[in-house]
Amino acid sequence: MAVSEEKIRTFVAIDLPAEVKSFLEGVTRDLKKTGADVKWARPEGTHLTLKFLGNVDRELVSHIDAQLRPMFAQVRPFVIGVGSLGGFPSLNRPRVIWVGVHDGDGSLQPAVRQVESLLEPLGFEPEKRPFSPHLTLGRVRSNRGIRELVEEVRQRIDLTGPRFSADHATLFQSILKPSGAEYRPLAAFPFSGN
């Protein structure tokens, strides 16, 4: 009997409440008016990625769950603020336009480091770049309209958005489709702070 080697594209993230997604939709709508050549993210699918895992064997999902569930159970719910606009690698030559994420009590960075540490024994390489929490609004495809886009972002750089309580993380499957990625939850990890 052959062993199934089905691979699925996965990541660990904090999903966003409707209020935040609505805010992002408004920001995106305003930035689209610049006419810049950007592949805009669908606000309903936006999330705060903690760790992108890539293509993994479906059978590994239960091991990922077993590693992360006890750790996330130790995390207390915490407040995340959404605000500020920017671009990666820089606003002078952006490839990605993003909205910043701020967590007031500092819970996010340690949680991400623990996720990295717990998943390394399962074969997931730790991220070499420092964790920079953000919500991707869009990916720049060409220089068409880039000057206008950068100017609009600069005018709104100190943008302030809603705050929300993060009370769980989710292991998602990302299904790539011509219409855009579809995200399917595979496991939820409640933050109970025990």
Listed residue (71, 75, 82, 184) closest to 133, CA to CA:
82
CB 38 within 8 A of CB 135: no
Which amino acid, residue 85?
L
pLDDT-based confidence at residue 194 (cuts at 50, 70, 90): low
User: Is the sign of the CA dihedral 129, 91, 46, 176 positive or negative?
Assistant: negative
- Active-site position among 63, 102, 134, 168: 134
pLDDT in tens, 108-145: 999 999 999 999 999 999 998 889 999 999 999 999 99
Q: Is 168 one of the catalytic residues?
A: no
List of domains in the chain: 7-190 (3.90.1140.10)
pTM of the model: 0.90
pLDDT in tens, 92-110: 999 999 999 998 788 999 9
Q: Is 102 one of the catalytic residues?
A: no
